[in-house]
Amino acid sequence: MFNSSSLHAAAINGWTLSIPFGVRQVMRRQSTCELHFSFGMLSFVSAVIANAGISDGGIGGMMAEWFSWRTLAGQGAPGRRRVLLPIAAAACTVALAAGCHPVSSGTGNGHPGPRPHPSPSASQTSPTPEPTTSSSSPTATAGPTPTDQPTPTTEPTLTDQPTDTPTTEPTPTPDPTPSPTPAPTPTGPVAIPGGHVCGNASVLSGPASPPPGAITVPAGDDSGVDLGMGGITYWFAPGVHTLAPGEFAQIQPGTGSAYIGGPGAILDGQHVNDSAFGGGSADVTISYLTIQNFGQPGGNQDQGVVNHDSATSWTIDHSTITDNAGAGVMLGSHDTLLADCLKDNEQYGFNAYSPSGPASLVLTGNEITGNDTFNYEAKYPGCGCSGGGKFWDVDTADVTGNWVTGNHSVGLWADTNNRGFLISGNYIADNYAYGIVYEISYNAEIVDNTFVRNGIGEGSTDPGFPTAAVYISESGADPRVNSRFSLTFLIAGNTFQDNWSGVILWESANRFCGSPANTSSADCTLVNPTVATLSTCDAANIANEPYYDDCRWKTQNVLVTDNTFNFDPATAGASCTAAIGCGFNGLFSQYGTFPSWSPYQGTVVEQHITQSQNDRFSVNTYTGPWQFMAGELGTIVTWSQWLASYGQDVASLLGA
């Protein structure tokens, strides 16, 4: 985390510059305020430099590229877009005093995608008379082939929760319509000293007696209990609970209901019931329950066990959701996951999807581990349908203070028209493939996270592409997309330790709206949605403006700054060599070839991503034998070429 008392030093051309982290954070955080500098301010800075007698060449090496994205607009040469650090700090202070405003968050136009089959219409735990068929899931680019993972090393920890002493099971209270117990309000990352969420009784054990006015649900067969009333708090007594027999038996909550488990309360689907909670009611709370064994092995593809229908304003907290087929949880708008253990589910720990696109999600203090046990990418190559968690067309998400470890595919995957994401303070480790994938999406901050040993499984099996801890694919910042973080896509303040590769910024030359190479074939870009559409981004229009620009998802305005990259190839094994993409940061595309009517053939996109889309690495610290890939996939450049030819990693330090 940034600390105002910590200092960052860079020694360049005989100068040593020390800048408090807190000052740099104010400078770079558009989520805190937008700093607006007039040309008059720039003239003032120029005058100070001139009066000080410092030549342009003398200050060139001291310039902060990480500050240039905020101080000057346009695509000028890097040397003309930097500001001397002490003067930059003063200018920042002046701008703050003059007034700055927070970036507003807005709701974009969601694009419906394929939808899991609906839950049964019954409001209690009885089977529906006939099944419905599932539709296909959203697809993505070719995914990894997962295998088992190593055990994570020491990780951040979460705050203790009091553990109540179990008492004798109470009888139901007489009041038929009590108010539900309010759900916990997430206040930020939870710290648990000395332990994980999963298996941590101090976090996951619920109240030993029912809250006032609650209805007690005895352990055993709950099929005779009406669990669908609105505005009711249900307390599940310790022990194993089951639903009615039948694939489609589930709990369909009423609006405003709460379901709270006592210590050791388990809701078990026995691999008979497909889902535990479904329906469309809002404002539902599920707390302190273990929910397990729902769905047939290998079944429930793209379905969810908890909140099956992606209903809105659900809070799922302090619960263990494990060993289920499909996704452990589906997320709809205004849903919250807080201090949960999402473990060893067959497809995802969670899947954020709804027909209109979820908005305003909060995921804080969860442990998301060991998911994709069915190994979906091996069974359905290229499905892009696995991982610790998947986001699809989500408008605004806070993903903070989570452990995302040991998943048998990608850790966190934001796929197709996501925007306004804050991914901060997470520990992301030992995932088989990429730690984070942000794909054909917009406007995010990935800050203050720790990435350890991600991609080691996938990397050794995919020599054609560096498997990175953070993989940005056709994604960047665009102010035309109405969300926060729309000026700069920021990757900052992170620590990278012994991942297969670090940060890869990629844009496929062949992928655009209307292209057969776009695997999200039902979706188009968000930058000009009334003009650039699936029907207009075609062979007749694509070479002309605005279609030429607006039909592409672009890796643009990405700033990778103030990160620490540590790399010891021995930790990845003997297969970790530069020849197969181990140990890289990169900024590149590929030679465009497809489709035949594409105007992006040849080196067009390679030139755009490296020269004119404002993508920058800067002020990073490297330790170990790092390699760099630039321009075209497979082109390895030296550190000197990375700096001089591509203008990358200005004011960064490369150590042995």
pLDDT tens-digit series, residues 490-530: 999 999 999 999 999 999 999 999 999 999 999 999 999 99
Residue pair 330/337 in contact (Cβ under 8 Å)? The answer is no
Quick one: pLDDT at residue 611?
A: 97
Helix axes 21-28, 85-98, angle to 10 degrees: 60
Quick one: pLDDT at residue 173?
A: 35
Closest CA to 140 of 468, 409, 362, 426: 409
Residue pair 334/352 in contact (Cβ under 8 Å)? The answer is no
Q: Is 490 exposed, middle or buried (0-12, 13-18, 19+ CB in 10 A)?
A: buried
pLDDT tens-digit series, residues 277-306: 999 999 999 999 999 999 999 999 999 999
Distance CA(450)–CA(455), nearest Å, equals 14
- The CA R_g of the chain, rounded to the nearest whole Å, is 26
Is 80 exceeded by the pLDDT of residue 104? no
Helix axes 39-51, 85-98, angle to 10 degrees: 150
* Separation in Å, CA 488 to CA 69, 444, 561: 7, 8, 12
As a three-state string, the secondary structure of 479-526 is CCCCCCCCCCEEEECCEEECCCEEEEEECCCCCCCCCCCCCCCCCCCC
Please count the CA atoms within 13 angstroms of the CA of 48 that sit on its side-chain side.
15
Distance CA(205)–CA(192), nearest Å, equals 14
Quick one: pLDDT at residue 299?
A: 93
pLDDT tens-digit series, residues 7-27: 333 333 323 233 333 333 333
Residue pair 303/282 in contact (Cβ under 8 Å)? The answer is no
| Mean pLDDT score, 238-253 | 97
Greatest mean pLDDT range, 110-124, 126-140, 627-641: 627-641
Residue pair 347/376 in contact (Cβ under 8 Å)? The answer is yes
Residue pair 181/258 in contact (Cβ under 8 Å)? The answer is yes
Task: Give the angle 41-44-50 at the CA atoms, nearest 5°.
Answer: 145
pLDDT tens-digit series, residues 623-650: 999 999 999 999 999 999 999 999 999 9
Tell me which residue has tokens 């560096």: 466
* First and final C-alpha spacing in the chain: 25
> Can you say whether the dihedral through the CA atoms of 514, 515, 521, 525 is positive or negative?
negative
pLDDT band, very low/low/confident/very high, at 128 (cuts 50, 70, 90): very low
Please report the beta strands in 182-284, taking only residues with DSSP state E, as ranges in sequence order.
215-217, 220-221, 233-236, 239-242, 258-261, 265-268
**Which helix or strand (DSSP H or E) is residue 199 part of?**
none
Is 50 exceeded by the pLDDT of residue 38? no
| Mean pLDDT score, 366-373 | 97
| Mean pLDDT score, 399-408 | 97
pLDDT band, very low/low/confident/very high, at 195 (cuts 50, 70, 90): low
* Separation in Å, CA 170 to CA 100, 163, 206, 219, 652: 57, 18, 15, 12, 64
Residue pair 432/378 in contact (Cβ under 8 Å)? The answer is no
| Mean pLDDT score, 359-368 | 97
| Mean pLDDT score, 197-210 | 96
Is 90 exceeded by the pLDDT of residue 271? yes
User: What is the 3-state composition of the chain as percent helix, strand, coil, each rounded to the nearest 5?
Assistant: 15, 25, 60
Backbone φ and ψ for 331, nearest 5 degrees, come out as -120, 130
Quick one: pLDDT at residue 463?
A: 85
Cis peptide before 595 (omega within 30 of 0): yes
Residue type, 177: T
Backbone φ and ψ for 314, nearest 5 degrees, come out as -95, 140
656 is written with which tokens? Answer: 């042995």
| Mean pLDDT score, 89-115 | 32
What lies within 8 Å, CB to CB, of 88 at 6+ separation is 27, 64, 67, 71
**Which helix or strand (DSSP H or E) is residue 56 part of?**
helix 56-60
Tell me which residue has tokens 């054609």: 464
Is 50 exceeded by the pLDDT of residue 1? no
Is 90 exceeded by the pLDDT of residue 172? no
Quick one: pLDDT at residue 517?
A: 95
259 is written with which tokens? Answer: 């379901």
pLDDT band, very low/low/confident/very high, at 464 (cuts 50, 70, 90): confident
Find the range with the poorest average confidence among 136-145, 366-375, 524-533.
136-145
pLDDT tens-digit series, residues 551-604: 999 999 999 999 999 999 999 889 999 999 999 999 999 999 999 999 999 999
Backbone φ and ψ for 137, nearest 5 degrees, come out as -90, 165
Distance CA(645)–CA(641), nearest Å, equals 5
Is 60 exceeded by the pLDDT of residue 382? yes
Is 70 exceeded by the pLDDT of residue 434? yes
Is 90 exceeded by the pLDDT of residue 105? no
**Beta-ladder partners of 10:** 17
The reply to whether the predicted model has a pTM over 0.85 is no
| Mean pLDDT score, 174-203 | 51
Cis peptide before 150 (omega within 30 of 0): no
Greatest mean pLDDT range, 15-19, 83-87, 413-417: 413-417
